[in-house]
Amino acid sequence: MQVGSARGAFGVVVWPAYIGVVTSAGVEPEFGWDYNRGQIRWSVCDGEVIGEASVEVPGSVLDYTHVIYTHHPTKMPYWTVQKFSHPFHLPQGGTIRLSRITERDVTPLRPDPVLHD
């Protein structure tokens, strides 16, 4: 039994599910035992989709300068990248928490937007 005869294409955009960070050397510390990308928790607030996430980072003499958005907790590719308005200097390591992640933040192929605090 055939239902309907419409033809067309159906497409979806799946927003990224994880955040990570990149150092001033342009490297994600993905091989450190104390580094974990953080899962984005999405919710709806006043009709807008808003996310929040935390990422655990190892100690580094380099600053953490960019946040990456990705679909996988450990694999490439990056969905998009944003520069922090102020780099994080965490020589002992720690947690970087992001809140109010919006659609504007995760738009792919944006030319290096700056994430303001």
On whether the CB atoms of residues 52 and 41 are closer than 8 A, the answer is: yes
Which pLDDT band holds residue 74 (cuts at 50, 70, 90)? confident
Tracing tokens 């020589």 back to the chain, one arrives at 91
| Rounded mean pLDDT, 65-91 | 89
What is the tens place of the pLDDT at every residue in 97-111?
Answer: 999 998 888 877 655
In this structure, the number of other CB atoms found within 10 A of the CB of residue 110 comes to 12
What is the tens place of the pLDDT at every residue in 46-63?
Answer: 988 899 999 999 999 999
Distances (CA, A) of 36 to 2, 72, 74: 48, 11, 8
pTM: 0.78
Which pLDDT band holds residue 2 (cuts at 50, 70, 90)? low
- Structural domain boundaries of the chain? 18-106
On whether the CB atoms of residues 20 and 68 are closer than 8 A, the answer is: yes
